[in-house]
A and B are shown apart, each in its own frame.
Chain A
Amino acid sequence: MTIVAGVSPTHQTTDGVALAAMLARSTDTDLLLVAVVPAPWQGKNAHLDAGYRQDLRLRAERSLADAGQTIPPEVTFTTQVRESVSVSEGLTEAATETGSPMLVLGSSTMGLLGRVALGSVTERLLHSSPVAVAVSPRGFAAAGDQRVNRVSIAYAVGPDESSLIATAAQVGGEIGAGVRLVSFAARPAAPVTSGVGLRAEDQVLDQWASDVEATTDELNRQVSAAAGDCAVEPAVIGRGETWSRALEAIDWSPGEVLVIGSSRTARAAGVFLGGTASKIARHSPVPVIVLPRPAN
């Protein structure tokens, strides 16, 4: 099996490659680093920009070579420069051709260091990819022997998350990582002048938290069924006035990944990041993996 990692032909960022290497090491798979350059225009003048494309290709190869330098020796990898009309399409094609279960991407360079920032390519893939998409926080780096040691599964009460939980927990169990369920709530504080106290919203969140806890037992059973008993860690709830506070409220460990499911509205077997999931992803301090909706 192969994991496909997207590498920019021009920007020298390594966070995506670092994540890809950590994932490949943890799952004992090899890596395909792909840089996508623009495909030539169709038509009789297509040869005119041959020189330009040659230059782009060279840059892409250099970029891939640089990225390869950062990959620890025990991870085997190959590189590829692809021509495609769009970067996301090129990456998707690479994943389909190699039968890869996952695309790995870095954060946008516009984002905050240490947080996941979705660039335009990532954004598009998170709404169209046929395989899982992993995104590293900006500036992500992992020690040469770092493995995924904990898989956190973000879930919500209500929608049926059993296939998300089963898939993520199974992979977590196979790679020997701990698996836990996490749930988040962000609610602004009560309006100050409402006269019912500044903490009026706490009782609403308390109620929500107890609803969530009521379902965890059952879901944890699903987790242990898929991952094996040893790996299951207690479920946690993060809450705060903003998404960023809610995500900060729980502990994260190095080597942790956060798994999020696709929206209910995603097409079958496709990735589509929902509204809430997108907020969680954008405030995550650890790499995020978005799984496609199960094929029916």
Chain B
Amino acid sequence: MSALTQQLFRRKGVKNYVEGEAVAEGELPRTLGLLPLMMLGIGGTVGTGIFFVLNQAVPSAGPAVIISFLLAGVVAGLTALCYAELASSVPVSGSSYSYAYATLGELPAMGVAACLMLEYGVSTAAVAVGWSEYLNALLNSLFGFRIPDFLSQAPDQGGLINLPAVILILMCMSLLIRGASESTTVNTIMVGIKLGVLTLFAVIGITGWNADNFADFTPFGVAGVTGAAGIIFFSFIGLDAVATAGGEAKNPQRNLPLAIIGALIVVTGTYFIVATVAVAAQNWTQFEGQEAGLAAILEQVTGSTWPSTLLAAGAIISIFSVTLVVLYGQTRILFTMSKDGMIPPIFHKVNPKTLTPVPNTLIVSVVVAIIAGVVPLDLLAEMTSIGTLVAFLVVSLGVIILRRRNPDLTRGFSVPFYPITPILSVLGCLWIIWNLDLVTILVFLVWTAVVLAFYFLYGRQHSVLGQERRDAR
């Protein structure tokens, strides 16, 4: 192997990771059974995207969007299984960046990091924009007042800045700087709120059932369905949280797949019902450009405002918690990268008073707030989807590579039906990516190129691992 290849694919040894992550004193290993794991998957997934993806996805698939949900769900399930195997082969806790660094090498890890910034940073922006739609819907139905378009829309859509989204992110920033976290109890409550309002939507929305709305089931054919699946994939992000908690799972070989599949069934089932009710209640041509879609449909069906007010209120509370948690995730991924020397050390500076990485949180939040302020939701959602899909693609490839390279490695969990599962997972991801907007794919390629260029200019020289290897020589 040439020196450069060696450098680009140097891997953080598994031993390294274990030593580096010595279990904190006095910390008992957490043990999660099947039900908590499943709740974790449901809590991480449900409600992030479903509150607003319909308005992006229905215009490209028509009523067949319900098939898109099933498709995206199956691919999400396959990738989550692969993720679980990779996560359980490396005894580190962290994101797919850490897993990629330990199994595939530095360059692929950097590629995954580029994807994760979309999956976390950009998705925070997307979620915040969705939140601002529901805020407007709530203000409108409570007080008959809306924040004017020029303060609540991206420039592309005739506004100046999406101010509520910016404010939401800055609020989350101040909470994170002060050291707030979301406890398991709060998470459970949030899951309850999300499932509650979605059930409310389904129960009330079904009264507006009109079978005629299904007449033109697939106006754009198969391409439309897969294209929509790409946008919808966004609403399945979070299922991988089960995999990252795998290290703490009791009997992972049994519980991880059951938890992932269980969560997937609940989530996909909920989405399927919500989507079916939505497209039955409202003709597919009316979805485009509609804001706070679920609330709008409820109002249309019932002719009164209280159900949509309730739904908007639930959405505002739960989306707020999602924004907080996802923004948190982004700061901690960058923290790890900075410790590894991939990005400047300012990202792992910890404020001794608040015990939080303050400069890191500030930088991330300001960037995300700007993105949320000026980029329209459909592009944000697609960017998030492509980032997540590519990250999962790499993870699935990683499973295959690791099986071939280290067949004897002890794995806490192995995917069933190897090699079919990872191969299907790779193909599924590719298929959905292929049907995304060309602009999305181009922006993604440019973004990845920028990140990799940064790696060649900065990370390659500053890599802590590289430094250790040089010192050892």
Contact = CB atoms under 8 A, between A and B. Distances in A.
Interface of A: 156-158, 185, 187-208, 211-212, 239-240, 245, 248-249, 276
Nearest to B360: A204
B244 A202 contact: no
B40 A192 contact: yes
B355 A185 contact: yes
A248 B27 CA distance: 11
Contacts of A190: 181, 328, 332
B326 A200 contact: no
Contacts of A202: 21, 24, 27, 93
Contact of B325 (A193, A206, A211): A193
B238 A205 contact: no
Given A193-B44, A193-B238, A204 B332 contact: yes
A192 B339 contact: no
Contacts of A198: 30, 93, 244-245, 247-248
Contacts of B187: 191-193
20 contacts: A156-B352, A185-B355, A187-B355, A188-B183, A189-B181, A191-B187, A191-B324, A193-B238, A194-B325, A196-B94, A196-B336, A197-B92, A197-B98, A198-B248, A200-B93, A201-B332, A204-B356, A239-B25, A240-B26, A276-B353
Contacts of B353: 156, 158, 276
A194 B329 contact: yes
B398 interface: no
Given A156-B353, A240-B26, A192 B43 contact: yes
Nearest to B245: A198
Given A198-B93, A199-B93, A205 B332 contact: no
A196 B245 contact: no
Nearest to A157: B352
Contacts of B357: 204, 207
B166 interface: no
A203 B335 contact: yes
Nearest to B93: A197
Contacts of B27: 202, 240
Interface of B: 21, 24-27, 30, 40, 43-44, 92-95, 98, 120, 179, 181-184, 187, 238, 240-241, 244-245, 247-248, 324-326, 328-329, 332-333, 335-336, 339, 348-350, 352-353, 355-357
A158 B352 CA distance: 7
Contact of B352 (A192, A201, A211, A240): A211
The residue in B93, B98, B350 that gathers the most chain A C-beta atoms within 10 A of its C-beta is: B350
B181 A191 contact: yes
A198 B432 CA distance: 30
B355 A203 contact: no
Contact of B247 (A197, A204, A211, A240): A197
Contacts of A191: 181-183, 187, 324-325, 328
Given A195-B238, A196-B336, A208-B352, 19 more contacts: A158-B353, A185-B355, A192-B40, A193-B43, A194-B326, A194-B332, A195-B120, A197-B98, A199-B247, A200-B93, A202-B93, A203-B21, A203-B332, A203-B339, A206-B24, A207-B348, A207-B350, A208-B350, A249-B25
Among A157, A188, A194, A239, the one with the most B-chain Cβ atoms within 10 Å of its Cβ is A194
B43 to A, nearest CB: 5
B244 A197 contact: yes
A192 B245 CA distance: 8
B26 A249 contact: yes
A195 B339 contact: no
Nearest to B83: A195
Contacts of A194: 241, 325-326, 328-329, 332
Nearest to B36: A192
Contacts of A245: 26
A195 B79 CA distance: 14
Given A192-B241, A192-B245, A197 B94 contact: yes
A9 B353 CA distance: 40
Contacts of B92: 197
A55 B339 CA distance: 69
10 tightest CB-CB pairs across the interface, nearest first?
A197-B93, A193-B44, A191-B182, A188-B181, A249-B26, A157-B352, A194-B329, A195-B241, A199-B93, A200-B332
A139 B240 CA distance: 50
Given A157-B352, A197-B245, A200-B93, A192 B184 contact: yes
Most buried by B among A193, A197, A204: A193
A196 B329 contact: yes
Contacts of B95: 195-197
Contacts of B26: 239-240, 245, 248-249
A254 B391 CA distance: 54
Contacts of A197: 92-95, 98, 244-245, 247
A192 B357 CA distance: 19
A163 B360 CA distance: 32
Contact of B333 (A196, A205, A207, A240): A196
A26 to B, nearest CB: 30
Contacts of A193: 40, 43-44, 182, 187, 238, 241, 325
A203 B336 contact: yes
Contacts of A249: 25-26
Contact of B179 (A156, A187, A199): A187
Q: By CB atoms of chain B within 10 A, which of A203, A249, A276 has the most? A: A203
Which residue among A198, A202, A208 has the maximum number of chain B CB atoms within 10 Å of its CB?
A198
B94 to A, nearest CB: 5
Contacts of A205: 24, 355
Nearest to B87: A197
Nearest to A189: B181
B240 A195 contact: yes
A217 B236 CA distance: 50
A6 B356 CA distance: 40
A140 B428 CA distance: 66
Contacts of B94: 196-197, 200
Contacts of B183: 188, 191
Nearest to A156: B352
Contacts of A199: 21, 24, 93, 247
A162 to B, nearest CB: 16
Given A194-B332, A196-B333, A249-B26, A204 B21 contact: no
Most buried by A among B26, B40, B349: B26
A199 B21 CA distance: 9
B176 to A, nearest CB: 11
B355 A204 contact: yes
A192 B244 CA distance: 9
A112 to B, nearest CB: 20
Contact of B244 (A158, A196, A207, A212): A196
B410 to A, nearest CB: 19
Which residue, B27, B30, B44, B184, has most C-beta atoms of chain A within 10 A? B27
A253 to B, nearest CB: 18
